[in-house]
Structure 1
Amino acid sequence: MKIAQICPRYAPEIGGVETHVKEISEKLVQRGHAVDVITTDPTGKLSKNEIINGVNVIRFKAFAPGNAYFFAPQIYSYLKNQDYDIVHAHSYHALPAFFAALARPGKKFVFTPHYHRSGHTFFRNLLHKPYRLLGRMIFSRAYTIICVSEFEKGLVNEDFNVSGKIEKIPNGINLAEFEKLRPQKDESGKKTLLYVGRLEEYKGVQYIIQALPELPDFKLKIVGKGPYEDELHKLADQIGVFDRIEWLKGISRDELLNCYASADIFLMLSKHEAYGITVAEALAAGTPCVVARGSALDEFVDGIMCIGIEVSDIADKLIESICTLKNNKIETLKNQNKLMDWESVTDKIITLYEK
């Protein structure tokens, strides 16, 4: 099959949608399919067309105020003049999926919304209600809608009444990557807290930094970049913990895996998640997690390896949860059967495409 994957950002950018599209695209190529990833580059600094691990990546210049929406109507023009067997758009929360829906309605069009319901900033939330008119059109034109969790499936059906179109296919991880991981001891003797993901206010990294003065036995590793980075730096400096934080970005996959394996506790205090790939990866590395409740992250909470905190109680309960989990590090995840490998995810997606 000749397949187009449409997404607002792609590697080397990082994030949940970026990881999802990269993994399935590369697996599809390995199965003999031709895959074009059609995406945007608001910076204009990345290559307009390159091959990454067999995937043909095509980037269009986009207008992205506040790092949102990714307005790139060239995607519509491009798709209108191409002949793909499948056009698979990703992310309700950005306009590339809308342009794909305009160009390719019907049986060739598949949509994975990664839906959170609300916007992630005041500006985005303000535009979210009028934007829903466009969003409704994307859902109506999609032949099949893939949701990555029961939580997302419930939100999508409640807001758009499309239950007959929805297929649940969760995100995956590369389980083989985690089989031989071995933690490295920290020479300082301190335990390590870890966050991996984009640096946005809604992700809740500020709560982790604010807790550090009450956690003298811990240091913090933050892996990622994003628009909230400068604010987090200022906060860390103001409360005197900047030197206890290691800020990492642009690291290799092997370095990231080592971060997961060597951390004592992984934290994801995001208010909006359709799945939570980084939580799944931390658990696969045997690292206990603390997550914010109220999104798809709830599905990882078991009270043993993953503790959930209500968003309204994060400031009060975070330190307590960290202290509860600090001795729970294990070498392998006992409930790994709850996590799906990207190979299995790709199998399910191919079956859906073939329908």
Structure 2
Amino acid sequence: MRVTLVTPGFPPDAGGVEAHSGHLVRELAARGVAVEVLTGRRGLCRAATEVRDGVRIRSFPVWRTNGMSISPQLLLAGLRAARGTDLVHVHSYHAACGFTALGGYLTPVVFTPHYHGDGHSRRARAMHRGYRFVGRLLFRVARAVICVSEAERDAVVRDFPAAAGRIHVVPNGVDTAAVRSARPFAGQHRTILSLGRLERYKRVAVLLRALPSLPADVQLVIVGDGSQHGELRGLAAELGITGRVRFLGRIGTEEVHRWLRTAVVLVSLSEHEAFGMAPVEAAAAGARVVLSDIPAHREITANHLGALARLVDPEPAAVATALIEQLAEQLAAPGRVEAQVPDWGRIAQQTLEVYRTAREDRS
């Protein structure tokens, strides 16, 4: 089978969609699928092509916009690819490369929207309201839609009910072997980890405000970057906790895995998620987790995390209480309990089944 995978970002760039597409491509190629990747990359002046682990990756320049990833060359390349491949797998409703789903008029298209509603900011929400008409068309032409959780499926059906009969739920996976083989950092204080973009909807500020209520030997390590970086540093100074907070910015995958193995607790207080990859990775590494009480987090807690997770209202006192409980439980039972989570090999196999269904369904 020849598959063209179109995604707004791809490793080594960091992000949830990037990680998802990177792991999926690796596992599909290992199963004999001839995959070509079309993606965007900031900082490019012209299109570039490379072959990595037998997979051809074509990267195109991306316009610098805050609301949506836009790459006209990527869009055109995706539409052209629809004429010379067996199937096109398009990732991300929230990027303009989603338009390549229109290639479904020429060849079977599978659409993984990574959908979480109307955007993370007032500007993004305004853009998505205007984009809704296009979104209906994208979901209509896709032969199959892959959602990474039942929570995402519910959001898609709410906004695009015509897609309901073509949705398959295939969760995100974890590179369990790489995560569990990583070496923890030696000599660290008890570590609480925040892993993700520094944007307002992630509510990292709530976590900072909870830190003064925790024991003095606890440090907070923040991995990621975004528009709130400066504001969060200022808040840490205002709270008098700069000596207990480390802002690491964007770091490599191996270093992320080492922090996952080092952390006692990972915290994610996001307003909305399609899945919640970082908490599942943390639980696979043997860390405990504290999560905002949203549908996607409730789902991964029920399916994967169990007693390792605490769901909380995203306000400082409740977060501090949950963290104190998690820290106390770790002291009482210091061994790391690694959650049983789906690995990417299994996810790739489920995705291949969706591909076969999409190719056979000519309705």
| TM-score in terms of structure 2 length | 0.89
CA-atom RMSD, angstroms?
2.1
- Structure 2: 5+ residue stretches without partners: 358-363
Q: CA deviation at 1:46?
A: 9.3
The alpha-carbon distance between structure 1 residues 54 and 224, as it changes in their structure 2 partners (threshold 3 A), is farther
Q: Which residue of 1 aligns with 2:52?
A: 52
1:1-355 maps to which residues of 2 (within 5 A)?
1-44=1-44, 48-66=48-66, 68-82=67-81, 83-98=84-99, 100-105=100-105, 108-161=108-161, 162-180=163-181, 183-187=184-188, 190-215=189-214, 216-301=216-301, 304-311=307-314, 314-329=315-330, 331-333=335-337, 335-336=339-340, 339-355=341-357
Kept in 1: contact 2:104–2:143 (CA 8 A): no
- SS of the residue corresponding to residue 50 of structure 1 reads strand
Question: Aligned equivalents of 1:205 and 1:235: distance in 2?
Answer: 10
**In the alignment, what sits opposite 2:360?**
none
Residue by residue, what CA displacement relative to the aligned partner does 1:220-254 show, whole Å, maximum 9, x if unpaired? 11112222222222222232222322222443333
Cα distance in 2, alignment partners of residues 45 and 269 from structure 1? 37
Contact 2:44–2:61 under 8 Å retained in 1 = yes
Match of 1:39, SS state, is strand
CA contact under 8 A between 2:193 and 2:221: conserved in structure 1?
yes
Following superposition, the deviation at residue 332 of structure 1 comes to 4.7
Distance verdict in 2 for CA 1:168–1:12, change over 3 Å = same
**Letter of the structure 2 residue corresponding to residue 264 of structure 1:** V
- Comparing 89-98 with 325-334, greater Cα deviation is found at 325-334
Shift of 1:157: 1.2
2:275–2:300 contact (8 Å) kept in structure 1: no
**In the superposition, relative to structure 1, how do residues 71 and 250 fare at CA in structure 2: closer, same or farther (>3 Å)?**
closer
In the superposition, relative to structure 1, how do residues 144 and 321 fare at CA in structure 2: closer, same or farther (>3 Å)? same
- Does the 8 Å CA contact 1:107/1:143 hold for their aligned counterparts? no
Q: Judging changes above 3 Å, is the alpha-carbon distance between structure 1 residues 70 and 178 closer, same or farther for their aligned structure 2 residues? A: closer
The alpha-carbon distance between structure 1 residues 118 and 31, as it changes in their structure 2 partners (threshold 3 A), is same
Query: Does the aligned pair in 1 maintain the 2:191–2:265 contact within 8 Å?
Result: yes
* SS of residue paired to 2:307: coil
Greater Cα offset, 265-274 or 31-40:
31-40
- Distance in 1 (alpha carbons) for counterparts of 2:20 and 2:193: 21
Distance in 1 (CA, whole Å) between partners of 2:211 and 2:70 is 39
Q: Deviations over 1:60-80 (max 9, x none)?
A: 2222421x3122222332233
Q: Which residue identity is paired with 2:120?
A: H
| Partner deviation per Cα, 1:99-145 (whole Å, 9 max, x = no partner) | x1223436510001111012101110122212111111110110000
2:361 match? none
What's the CA shift for 1:81?
A: 2.9
Letter in 1 for 2:199: E
User: Normalized per residue, which structure has more helix?
Assistant: 2
**Secondary structure of residue in 1 paired with 2:172:** coil
| Number of residue pairs the alignment of both structures matches | 347
Report if aligned partners of 2:147, 2:167 keep a CA contact under 8 Å in 1.
yes
Q: How far apart are residue 178 of structure 1 and its match?
A: 4.1
Work out the CA distance in 1 between the residues paired with 2:268 and 2:138: 30
User: SS at 1:340's partner residue?
Assistant: coil
Q: Which stretch shows the higher mean deviation, 157-166 or 137-146?
A: 157-166
Structure 1 letter corresponding to 2:196: G
One-letter amino acid of the structure 1 residue matched with residue 211 of structure 2: L
Quote the Cα distance in structure 1 between the aligned partners of 2:36 and 2:197.
25
Structure 1's 137 and 333: CA in aligned 2 closer, same or farther, altered over 3 A? farther
Q: CA deviation at 1:148?
A: 0.6
Once the 2 structures are TM-superposed, how far is the Cα of residue 293 of structure 1 from its aligned partner?
1.4
Q: Aligned partner of 1:79: which letter? A: G
Deviation at 1:44, TM superposition (A): 2.5
Q: Supply the distance in 2 between the matched residues of 1:58 and 1:345 (Cα, whole angstroms).
A: 24
- Seen in structure 2, the aligned counterparts of structure 1 residues 331 and 4 have a Cα distance that, compared at 3 Å, is farther
Q: Is the contact made by 1:26 and 1:54 (CA closer than 8 Å) also made in structure 2? A: no
Tell me how far 1:335 sits from its aligned partner: 4.5
In the TM superposition, residue 29 of structure 1 has moved relative to its aligned partner by 1.6
Distance in structure 1 (CA, Å) of the matches to 2:242 and 2:182? 29
The answer on whether the counterparts of 2:152 and 2:274 sit within 8 Å (CA) in structure 1 is: yes
